[in-house]
Copies of this chain bind each other. A is one copy, B any other.
Amino acid sequence: MKKKGIKNRVTPWEVKGSVNYDKLVKEFGVERINEDLLNRIKKHTKELHFMLRRNIFFAHRDLHWLLDEYEKGNKFFLYTGCGPSGPIHLGHIGTWMFTKWLQETFDVELWFQFTDDEKFLFKKQSLEEIQQWMHENMLDVIALGFNPKKTHFIINTKHAHLLYPIAIRIAKKITFSMVKASFGLREDSNIGQLFYTSMQAAPAVLPSVLKNKNIPCLIPHAIDQDPHFRLTRDILPKLGYYKPASIQNMFLPPLTGVSGKMSSSENNGIFTTDTKEEVKNKINKYAFSGGQPTLEEHKLKGGDPEIDVSFQYLRMLLEEEDEKLNKIYENYKSGKLSTGELKKYTIEKINVFLEKHQKEREKAKKKIDDFVYKG
């Protein structure tokens, strides 16, 4: 999958270089979320989630259509997922926090797919190792507080009797040439990789198949997964189903700076199982700073919050209150707030979040059975 010499690259398996979201919007053909759409969402949700207010969820496909249906009483379901191959980091959490908000606000079902097959097929890890990570990752999803009565975990291997019969209907309409064009797959790609996208497409219609009626679907996901769902959207109407709507978020940056994305395999982020000390150490030592080399210079010239990773973590994930965030922004920019102080605040916010999360994660160990779909 890797091509040398390409600096900016966004595929479901690789995000490299600084991400130009305007270019992605154009390339992928998604639509920017604008004021009109935000106002329309607000009619239903009263408040707007800060990730909408701040354009972290910045693009969509067919959200207007989805709301048309919703307003007619045709409720949608949510579909998102996780490719388990390592520990969960803060970059995963944002998409799921927002998904939980959607579930609560619209009172809808969530189908949550664990793509153990994908990670096995695309990585040099055994299925056993992947499935151990899957177990760990489930704890993180449950810890976020999803409603077990309305949330169904689907595991690609375990639930293949549900997914595979749908996947082959989708696969019959996708050729090698198409997955070559969409994902950069090649003649030396393994045949599981070639087939895989049809397994990721299947949950977008699984509830419709199970209930034997056409149900609208909304997929919240990080923008790198869009090639899968773009293809899915082309195929499903040919099988008599709605095109799934989708809503895309930007990547939480890695500690090293505001390009690429936080990634377990590159070990460049904060894991949900990190201790308070580890968090402190990672932020202090590695979080790229937009501040000046010396405190004096910083006081004089001010810092750049746009490229400051700590500030971005606050903006994208941890500081829900706009007023507080704006104050931090201004103070950092003016030089009133030092890098040390910004990092200290960020460390506190992360650790407050993780303390609660880790407690819930412990409790989740007894809850997995309530979430794994029975059927």
Contacts and interface: CB of A to CB of B under 8 A. Distances in A.
A191 to B, nearest CB: 5
Contact of A171 (B157, B188, B192, B198): B192
B179 A191 contact: yes
Interface string A165-197: 101110111111111100001111111101101
Contacts of A178: 191
Instruction: Give how many copies assemble into the complex.
Output: 2
Contacts of A144: none
B188 A197 contact: no
Given A157-B165, A160-B160, A171 B187 contact: no
What range describes how many residues of A lie at the interface? Answer: 35 or more
Contacts of A230: none
Given A194-B194, A197-B191, A164 B172 contact: no
A169 B127 contact: yes
Contact of A175 (B157, B169, B172, B190): B190
Given A121-B172, A176-B187, A177-B188, A165 B195 contact: no
A96 interface: no
Binding site secondary structure of chain A: helix
Contacts of A156: 164
B159 A171 contact: no
A157 B159 CA distance: 11
Interface in A184-234: 185-192, 194-195, 197-198
Contact of A194 (B127, B164, B165, B176): B176
List 7 tightest A-B contacts by C-beta distance, closest first.
A171-B192, A195-B195, A160-B164, A160-B160, A157-B165, A161-B161, A160-B161
25 contacts: A120-B168, A120-B169, A121-B168, A127-B169, A156-B164, A157-B168, A159-B161, A160-B160, A160-B163, A160-B164, A167-B192, A172-B192, A173-B190, A174-B190, A174-B191, A175-B190, A175-B191, A176-B176, A176-B187, A176-B189, A177-B188, A178-B191, A180-B187, A191-B194, A195-B195
Interface of A: 117, 120-121, 127, 156-161, 163-165, 167-169, 171-180, 185-192, 194-195, 197-198
